[in-house]
Structure 1
Amino acid sequence: MLVKFTSSTSGQIMMFAAVARQLLESIGKDCSARGVITTEQLPEAITRLRQAAAEHKATPPASSVDDAGRASTVGDDDDARPVGLGQRAFPLIELLQWTQQEEGFVLWEAERDF
């Protein structure tokens, strides 16, 4: 399922519900089918998203053991690098910043609660 974030001043972005949930929970929002980040909430939301992205960067990647018993770290293979929270949060942070400059608000919408 997709979640669409629409700014009252600067456009829209879409992301998968699992990612949207992680980002919305980091700013203290419920993951309902519709919601809003008001003009007054934008500065705190931007700060919390940046902190969540920084904390996620600071944690080391998970390690695993392959079939042969060798330890490997996720991300050892260039083709298998996971996309981090900071990369996923960046478009939403930008949307919030642009909206804040114009003193707008951001709405999100999904087909159901997620």
Structure 2
Amino acid sequence: MLYKFKSRATADVIMLPANARQLLKIMGKDVAPPGIVTAAQIPAAIEALQAAIEAEEAAEREKGRTADAEDAHDEDGQPHTAIRLHQRAAPLIDMLRRSAAEGHDVIWQ
């Protein structure tokens, strides 16, 4: 089942379950649909997501990798294109920011 995030301020954001659950847990929300991030809760949700992104990037730097490493390859020699947290979270963070600016809640189902 896909997760669909909705707000009156933006178009819908649709995510695969594993990605949506990860972001919801970071925001401190119950992963079971339906759910809501109220306009008052949005600043804390954005802060939590940004802190998790910064922590992931710091861990990658510590390992000697960069977030945009293009020379990484998998065991078959194919380029490894890992999707980072900041890439997965960007559409939701944008939705949250725009919703906060207009005073709208974000729901998911």
State if a TM-score over 0.5 links the two structures.
yes
1:50 corresponding residue in structure 2: 50
1:31 corresponding residue in structure 2: 31
Which amino acid in the other structure matches residue 83 of structure 1?
A: I
CA distance in 1, matches of 2:52, 2:10: 24
**How far is the alpha carbon of 1:60 from its aligned partner?**
2.5
1:18 corresponding residue in structure 2: 18
CA distance in 2, matches of 1:39, 1:9: 11
Q: 5+ residue gaps in structure 1? A: 64-74, 110-114
The CA RMSD measured in Å over matched residues stands at 1.8
CA distance in 2, matches of 1:43, 1:30: 17
- Runs of 4 or more, structure 1, over 6 Å off, are none
Higher strand fraction (1 or 2): 1
**How far is the alpha carbon of 1:94 from its aligned partner?**
0.3
CA distance in 2, matches of 1:6, 1:22: 18
CA distance in 2, matches of 1:50, 1:60: 15
Q: Which SS does the other structure have where 2:21 is aligned?
A: helix
TM-score w.r.t. length of structure 1: 0.79
Which amino acid in the other structure matches residue 99 of structure 2?
A: T
Which amino acid in the other structure matches residue 55 of structure 2?
A: E
Q: Which SS does the other structure have where 1:50 is aligned?
A: helix
CA distance in 1, matches of 2:58, 2:81: 16
2:72 corresponding residue in structure 1: 76
TM-score w.r.t. length of structure 2: 0.82
**How far is the alpha carbon of 1:52 from its aligned partner?**
0.7
Asked whether the equivalents of residues 9 and 95 of structure 2 are also in contact (C-alpha less than 8 Å), the reply is no
Q: 5+ residue gaps in structure 2? A: 64-70
Asked whether the equivalents of residues 27 and 49 of structure 2 are also in contact (C-alpha less than 8 Å), the reply is yes
